[in-house]
Structure 1
Amino acid sequence: MNVRSRWLLISVGLGVLLNPLNSSMISVAIARLQNVYHLDFTGVSWIISSFYIASAIAQPVMGKASDLFGRRKIFLAGLVVSFVASLLAPLSPNFGWLIVFRIVQAIGTSMIVSVGMAIVRIHITEKQATALSVMSIFLSGAAAIGPFIGGVLIHWWDWHAIFIVNIPFVVMSFLLAWRTIPKDKPPTSIARDMSIRKWFDLIDASGILLFTVGLVALLIGLLSAKTSGNVSIGHVIVGLIGLMLLTAFVRHELKATSPFIPLRTFAKYPAMTWINIEFILVNLLYYSLFFGLPSYLQIVRHVSEFQTGILMLSLGLCSLVTSPIAGRWIDKSGPRPALIVSGMLMTFGSVWIVTLNQTSPVISVCIALVVFGISNGLNNVAMQVALFKSSPKEIIGVASGVFMTSRYLGTILSSLLIGVLMGNKFSAGGFRLLGVILSVIALSLVFMSWRRRESAQLEES
């Protein structure tokens, strides 16, 4: 790999780490934001949901946009959008404006992620596997150390710092990318002559609108009912509108020529569908702990942001260490044994959460963090291998896109679950109930993985 390729790799890596870094740093800031803006826990949970809803929509849209308008342009534009969001978010006059800038930040960082890997694949042809592995380190490493960085920043400064810290990364990435990423080829005549209506059809703007409004309405209906403590007609109406729009979205996607989520593919390949369902549940489990445990430590156990960040570091480090070991194991034995072990670990970790009480040593929380970190490292590799085994080669690109959408859906559901359980205030009782629910989900994952192994053995015999 020549010097120019190395600098290109660094420039892209500094950009793509912004999305996982910002999605993970916020976990330690939730309790602080709740106090600053005088919100109940359900209200502050929108800082999580809004980011993932925006990311789930922006990444596939920006991926399509880069094919038409150029990957370099989208990458640099994403850095500019991220810079603006990081600069303005600390100046938010209220929580509503903070949500707006958080959404803008999600869009900007999604623009970078959606084209970053493609830029590396296209422009680094020598030792490409090494280059892609370095990119995965930027992505997974940022997610792993995000809570620790967030805890340190909030402890020494305040929540504003978790946005300001992005600015040096953005500036360095932009300057390097401007010099190292080759200029895009002139747009094709198709791209130049494309009307706004054709562009909307290409990205499935109608499907995106139905999905977004329907999902947000459903979340508002459910979370508002929990916050107020009673179910009013208004809550029911908003929730029903959300369900109706999501139903309309499903019908629309089955007919669309370029669907936002290719539901026809799910119907055609049931094995791939089940993998994505499992992946949704895996992320529901992992992110419920990822976002729930920092609030438990700070609100219930009165642990500082700095100490919370240090404790959360065990989760990310265990995941990072486990992934390469899991890769070698899965190469020999296939993904199913790893998924079964992962499910058992998540079951143990979820049950362990149920046993925690006010007198439990804070360090005992690390047991749950370690087992969930190991299980996440196993799942990161095993789920992707299982997806590739269940997906025909001709649709592997579509399958990978759907796989990322499944991750975001699991994360959004984790935010919804925590918000519904906690309501106005994060409590020890609510956290134990969360552990019970997660235990049931984890056992379901063990059963699903085991049944799939039995099915595979029957097919082989």
Structure 2
Amino acid sequence: MKARSWWLMISIGLGILLNPLNSSMVSVAIPGLQKEFHIDFTTASWIIFSFYIASASAQPIMGKASDLFGRRRIFLMGLWVSLAASILAPMSMSFGWIIVFRIVQSIGTSMLAAVGMALVRIHITEKQATALSVLSIFLSGAAALGPFIGGVLLDWWNWPALFWFNFPFVIAGILLAWRTIPQDDRSKPAIDGLSLRKWLSRLDAAGVLLFTTGLVALLVGLLSAIASRHLSGIDFLFGLSGLVILILFVCHESRTAFPFIPLLTLAQYPAVTRVNIQYMLVNVLYYSVFFGFPSYLQTVRQISEVHTGLLMLSLGVCSLAASPWAGKWMDKSGPRPALLTSALFMTLGSLGILLMNETSSVLWVCLALAAFGISNGLNSVGMQAALFQSSPQEIVGVASGLFNTSRYLGTILSSLLTSIIMGGSFSIGGFKLLGGILAAVALTLAYMSRQLRGHAGRKMI
């Protein structure tokens, strides 16, 4: 590739790594936030919920917005929004304000994630597969190293450092993106002549609003009841309102011309639906581990943040190591054998949690994390291959959008599952119960993987 293409790829990479980096660094911060702000585990979990709910809503709508307003404009705007969140969040005087700025940060980083890959596909025409694989390293590497980086930052400073750490990436990204990303094509004025009502319809703003409001209301009611161990009238009202709004969301999506989540498409292609459900369960399991283990290590084992980050490296490193090997395997055998092997490693890791106690050896912890890491590396490639194998060519774009939505729903459900099990405080009993549930999820995934076609999938374009 030409030097300009490399600089373009680096500028995009600096932007798209911010979403997985900021979602993963916080995994080691929950016990510290509980102590500093005198909140329970369920309340502290909102630092995870808020980020993923905002990402689930923002990424699809920002992808659509980039078609209307220009990808370069949205990408640069995302960098500036991320910078503003990183400056303002450390000034927060309460946990509520941290949540507000986490939502702002999620929206900003979602702008970058939604547009970054499209910029590469449009502006890098030679060795495009190489460019996309390099960007996947930015994404996977940020997610893998996030807990370690978070642990070091919390050991040296405090939670504001999790936001300060973004400064060099955001500033370098702004400077490089301004110079390297080509101007948007103005020969196709997508929004010229469109009224406010029409482009809001194109973005399905009503669908996004219904989805976000309903999900937040349902979670607020449920988590408030869990934290207080009592279902009050207000909790019931929130939960019921959330359910009603989500039902309205389903009705709206089945009638609108530009759905946020195309439910009718899902109904027409049951194989695609199965893959998305399977991917959602994969993420329920992985993120329950990703956010559960740091709390176990710090709360039950009293291990420092930096040592927790070091132990979590076994999860990320094994995941990174397994991904390229999985790709070669699936080129020959298709996704089913790799996904069945992944389910085996998930089951072994879950059994490892079931057998843990307050004095389990560091080696045992690392082996359990390594098992989950290998399974995640196999899944990260295998689930995409399974999606492509099950999706007709004419709906590949729609299927990819649904695939990302399934991932975020899985992460939200993982946080909800952990909060329900733990209640107000993290305990070894709750962690072992979580391990038992995850073992059941792993066996379910093994059964679902057996339903996939056994031959090698179609080659990626």
TM-score (norm 1): 0.97
User: Which residue of the partner structure matches residue 357 of structure 1?
Assistant: 357
Contact in 2 for aligned 1:69/1:187 (Cα 8 Å): no
User: Which residue of the partner structure matches residue 103 of structure 2?
Assistant: 103
Moved more, 181-190 or 153-162: 181-190
User: Which residue of the partner structure matches residue 251 of structure 1?
Assistant: 251
Contact in 2 for aligned 1:70/1:187 (Cα 8 Å): no
User: Which residue of the partner structure matches residue 336 of structure 2?
Assistant: 336
Figure out how many residues of one structure are paired with residues of the other and give that number. 456
In structure 2, C-alpha distance between the alignment counterparts of 1:46 and 1:196, rounded to whole Å = 33
Aligned-pair CA distance for 1:32: 1.0
User: Which residue of the partner structure matches residue 280 of structure 1?
Assistant: 280
Instruction: Look up the SS of the partner of 2:192 in the other structure.
Output: helix
Aligned-pair CA distance for 1:453: 5.0
Contact in 1 for aligned 2:317/2:373 (Cα 8 Å): yes
Instruction: Look up the SS of the partner of 2:395 in the other structure.
Output: helix
Aligned-pair CA distance for 1:19: 0.5
Instruction: Look up the SS of the partner of 1:192 in the other structure.
Output: coil
Moved more, 178-187 or 214-223: 178-187
Moved more, 302-311 or 120-129: 120-129
In structure 2, C-alpha distance between the alignment counterparts of 1:332 and 1:190, rounded to whole Å = 43
In structure 2, C-alpha distance between the alignment counterparts of 1:187 and 1:164, rounded to whole Å = 40
For residues 54-453 of structure 1, the aligned pairs below 5 Å read 54-186=54-186, 188-452=188-452
In structure 2, C-alpha distance between the alignment counterparts of 1:121 and 1:23, rounded to whole Å = 25
In structure 2, C-alpha distance between the alignment counterparts of 1:404 and 1:360, rounded to whole Å = 36
Instruction: Look up the SS of the partner of 1:359 in the other structure.
Output: coil
User: Which residue of the partner structure matches residue 459 of structure 2?
Assistant: none
User: Which residue of the partner structure matches residue 39 of structure 1?
Assistant: 39
- % identity of equivalent residues: 65
Deviations 1:220-274 (A, max 9, x none): 1111111111222322222111111111111111111100000011100000000
Aligned-pair CA distance for 1:422: 0.9
Aligned-pair CA distance for 1:451: 3.5
In structure 2, C-alpha distance between the alignment counterparts of 1:242 and 1:40, rounded to whole Å = 23
Aligned-pair CA distance for 1:187: 6.4
- Which letter maps to 1:440? A
In structure 2, C-alpha distance between the alignment counterparts of 1:89 and 1:370, rounded to whole Å = 33
Contact in 2 for aligned 1:19/1:110 (Cα 8 Å): yes
- Which letter maps to 2:167? I
Instruction: Look up the SS of the partner of 2:216 in the other structure.
Output: helix
Aligned-pair CA distance for 1:205: 1.3
- Which letter maps to 2:168? P
CA pair 190-383 structure 1, distance change in 2 beyond 3 A: closer
Moved more, 358-367 or 14-23: 358-367
Contact in 1 for aligned 2:28/2:147 (Cα 8 Å): yes
- Which letter maps to 1:27? S
In structure 2, C-alpha distance between the alignment counterparts of 1:358 and 1:121, rounded to whole Å = 49
Deviations 1:268-318 (A, max 9, x none): 000000000000000000000000110110011100000000000110110
Aligned-pair CA distance for 1:421: 1.0
What 5-or-longer segments of structure 1 have no aligned partner? none
In structure 2, C-alpha distance between the alignment counterparts of 1:80 and 1:210, rounded to whole Å = 27
Instruction: Look up the SS of the partner of 2:254 in the other structure.
Output: helix
Instruction: Look up the SS of the partner of 2:29 in the other structure.
Output: helix
In structure 2, C-alpha distance between the alignment counterparts of 1:272 and 1:448, rounded to whole Å = 13
In structure 1, C-alpha distance between the alignment counterparts of 2:404 and 2:258, rounded to whole Å = 18
Moved more, 422-431 or 276-285: 422-431
Aligned-pair CA distance for 1:362: 3.2
Contact in 1 for aligned 2:67/2:190 (Cα 8 Å): no
Moved more, 385-394 or 187-196: 187-196
Aligned-pair CA distance for 1:189: 4.3
Instruction: Look up the SS of the partner of 1:207 in the other structure.
Output: helix
In structure 2, C-alpha distance between the alignment counterparts of 1:34 and 1:428, rounded to whole Å = 17
- Which letter maps to 2:82? S
Matched, 1:52 2:52: yes
Instruction: Look up the SS of the partner of 1:255 in the other structure.
Output: coil
- Which letter maps to 1:177? A
How large is the Cα RMSD of the aligned pairs?
Answer: 1.3
Contact in 2 for aligned 1:86/1:166 (Cα 8 Å): yes
In structure 2, C-alpha distance between the alignment counterparts of 1:452 and 1:120, rounded to whole Å = 31
- Which letter maps to 2:201? D
Instruction: Look up the SS of the partner of 2:432 in the other structure.
Output: helix
- Which letter maps to 2:12? V
Deviations 1:100-124 (A, max 9, x none): 1000000000101111111111111
In structure 2, C-alpha distance between the alignment counterparts of 1:190 and 1:310, rounded to whole Å = 48
- Which letter maps to 1:24? S
- Which letter maps to 2:3? V
Contact in 2 for aligned 1:34/1:41 (Cα 8 Å): yes
Deviations 1:176-234 (A, max 9, x none): 11111111122634412222111211111111111111111111111111111122232
Contact in 2 for aligned 1:283/1:410 (Cα 8 Å): yes
In structure 2, C-alpha distance between the alignment counterparts of 1:387 and 1:32, rounded to whole Å = 39
Contact in 2 for aligned 1:63/1:115 (Cα 8 Å): yes
